Amino acid sequence: MAMGLPRLVATAFTLTLVSIFLPLPFSLAGEITSIESVPDLQRLMYVAVDGYPCVRLLNLSGEIGCSNPGLSKVVAPIIKLKDVKDLVQPHTVLVTPDEMEDFFTRHVPLVSNDLSFASKIGGVLIESGSSFQQKLKGLSPDNMFPQAEFSPYGNVEYKWNPTASSIMWKAYNFPVYLLSESGMSAVHEFLSKKERKHKTYTSDVAEFSMVMETTKAGTHNSEACLQEGTCLPLGGYSVWSSLPPINVSSSNNRKPIVLTVASMDSASFFRDKSFGADSPISGLVALLGAVDALSRVEGFSNLKKQLVFLVLTGETWGYLGSRRFLHELDLHSDAVAGLSDTLIETVLEIGSVGKGLSGGINTFFAHKTRVSSATNKTLDALKVAQDSFASKNIKILSADKTNPGIPPSSLMAFMKKNPQTSAVVLEDFDTKFANKFYHSHLDDLSNVNSSSVVAAASVVARTLYILASDNKDTSSSALGSIQVNASFVEELLACLLSCEPGLSCNLVKDYISPTNTCPGNYAGVMSGEPSSNPYLGSVSDVSRFLWNFLAEKTSVQKGNTTSVCSKGSCSRTDQVCIKAESNKEGTCVVSTTRYVPAYSTRLKYADGAWTILPQNTSDSMGMVDPVWTESNWNTIGLQVYTVQHSAYDNAVLVARITVTTLAYFGIMVAKSFITKALKQD
């Protein structure tokens, strides 16, 4: 008992000293908390941040996009752009949408020219939020003349896209993330806590996990990375369908084709935030609204022309879809069985149609490829369709004759392939884009007007009927019966242009089982062997939905006359199996609906790998094809946490050594004093 008393007193003395110098355990977020497990500690220290990365893309001449500069994670303190002065170490710069264009066009060029300053940017975080859209005059990371190298005319300096900054076509050797709403809240919460507590000894840092395989392997162009297997080519699957179905087994009595075209893919600075609401999804939705309306009209088999609907993907990246479609026509492949380029009489493309409403009138502009009888028929049909509406709230105008030619569109590929193509593209603009957020993450659902899309769908549906029937009688009962379902158009816009409900909406889930909720509308990559009958796991949600939707709407057999299909196959060659994903058993319908692979005509897939074909001087588009690829990666992630400055850590270390030393001497003194006291007793 007597020997334990010195130890007890010494322990109490030591704890008293420690309690003076060291605070109670606290979280790195600055809050006292209870930690019961390692996962609790991890959640307390590290906050995963949701966002949309800018990734590394490559072409034959080099790289664009973003990546960690080396082979490891990037960790850098967060600082707001407005607070940036003289940085002494790499920082993560927090940029608002209204600062984004100025940052990449003014600050970043300075960074790239000054290596000492370049090393001070560790990463970039871009804030999101719809509140910025109204304040911005425009934000388009694309070029003034998008994809000018594919133009069928010489004036490639024309400014179709006056708000362009071209920032998406440059390479950045630091990671860039667009923060989601929740991610932005997490970052601001970290920053505000530090400001409230005035802690100068801590830093809030962002940790970027965005190491590209092409960076690891040192493959910095498409040819090198395809050889090493560190990238995949951009592409996907286009879809076409005919109304009524085509008898593929017979080439007799084939009708002239009226081909209607729209695109399904868009692009932006950020891979998975490419809604492309006005450009091009408004045109896609208008096409689907027109198909839905025409599907309720009887007697198409008796009309003079054959309607064919074509929805392309990969158009943003060198018109991959349209060029491959035309190439498959040349090859007479299974993907286009039943079609012939010689039968295509006219092409009607539906471009950006989401911003046509102004002053109660929906105005659209018809841009034509050339003067021909077929083109004039299309223009006349558009006018007849316009006049057939009693409300008189739709106006079709011819584009300004001073325009250098058609605007950037899939028709450019058709014109480059055959300059004699008779075609019209319908747009919501005349001499320049009405969409000030062209190929921007801000081109979302709020950037289009559903009434404008409904109006475009209505005029297209009646125009196609007029062209197919060759009947210009506006009083025709059949023409008047063609009515677009506005509710269907609005539902489809919500499915394809938002994350709530997104692709989990009932309309989409009636046809497929989507793998994602948010429709990114980025073209994606070709992950396997291209085929007209592809493995569905390699086909995007939107392509699969379009295939099923068009197959049903253009089918002959409907309702109770259809038969059940098992394992996705039907007994008859003229049938396809629809809704097999959403139901345990699909339904067989007579329909001519096909997938068409969309990838560069300069690429060949053989023995499980992609190779680049030599240039062919007879293929003018192939001669300028960039051959876009996307780098592989293992993981992409972003998290934020608080760290203490090294100077503070050193001070704490010195303090702890001092405490330990004082405690030791204190214990020795106390022990000596108590021992003497006990002896005297």
What is the SS3 string spanning 432-491?
A: CCCCCCCCCCCCCHHHCCHHHHHHHHHHHHHHHHHHHHCCCCCCCHHHHCCCCCHHHHHH
pLDDT tens by residue, 165-206: 999 999 999 999 999 989 998 898 888 876 655 555 677 888
Q: Hunting for tokens 């970039």 — which residue is that?
A: 124
Cα distance between residue 233 and residue 303, in whole Å: 41
Nearest residue to 628 (alpha-carbon basis) of 147, 303, 273, 160:
147
Closest by alpha carbon to 630, among 330, 84, 214, 121?
Answer: 214
Tell me the residue type at 391.
S
Is residue 121 within 8 A of residue 81, CB to CB? The reply is no
Q: Which two tokens stand for residue 606?
A: 């053989």
Q: Which of 261, 288, 321 minimizes the C-alpha distance to 540?
A: 321
Q: Cα angle vertex 403, ends 405, 521, to 5°?
A: 65
Alpha-carbon separation of residue 113 from 101, 106, 110, 172, 205 (angstroms):
18, 11, 5, 12, 26
Cα–Cα distance between 594 and 100 in angstroms, integer? 41
- Our CA dihedral for 553, 449, 348, 150, rounded to 10 degrees, sits at -120
Strand partners, 593: 241
- Do residues 578 and 589 make contact, with C-beta atoms less than 8 angstroms apart? yes
Residues facing residue 35 across a β-bridge: none
pLDDT of residue 118: 60
pLDDT of residue 143: 98
487/505 Cα distance (integer angstroms): 14
> Could you count the other beta carbons within 10 Å of the beta carbon of residue 11?
12
Q: Contact 621/414 with Cβ under 8 angstroms?
A: no
Cα dihedral value 432, 436, 441, 442, nearest 10: -150
CA distance 610 to 641: 41
Q: Which residue type is seen at 347? A: V
Residue 330 CB contacts under 8 Å (≥ 6 apart), including other chains: 341
CA distance 130 to 59: 33
Using the structure block, give the residue that is written with the tokens 């007994």: 571
d(CA 41, CA 5): 38
- Residue 42: the pLDDT is 57
286 token code pair:
């208008």
What pLDDT is recorded for position 567? 72
> Residue 166, class by beta-carbon neighbours within 10 Å (0-12 exposed, 13-18 middle, 19+ buried)?
middle
List the alpha helices (DSSP H) in 156-206. Answer: 181-197
Residues 532-542 as b or e (16 or more Cβ within 10 Å = b): eebeeebbbbb
> Could you check whether the bond before residue 39 is cis, i.e. omega within 30 degrees of 0?
no
Instruction: Give Dmax over CA atoms of the chain in angstroms.
Output: 126
Is the peptide bond prior to 501 cis by the omega test (within 30 degrees of 0)?
yes
> Residue 417: which H helix or E strand, with range?
helix 411-417
Q: What is the per-residue pLDDT for 557?
A: 65
d(CA 15, CA 666): 12
Specify the pTM: 0.89
- Omega cis (within 30) before 90: no
Closest residue by Cα to residue 51 from 233, 206, 157, 192: 206
Cβ-contact 74, 636 below 8 angstroms: no
Locus of tokens 């841009």: 367
The pLDDT value recorded for residue 443 is: 95
Query: φ, ψ for residue 70 (rounded to 5)?
Result: -130, -150
Provide the mean pLDDT of the chain: 88
Q: Pick out the chain residues at pLDDT < 50.
A: 1-3, 5-6, 8-11, 14-15, 17-32, 559-560
What phi and psi, each to the nearest 5 degrees, are found at residue 462?
-75, -35
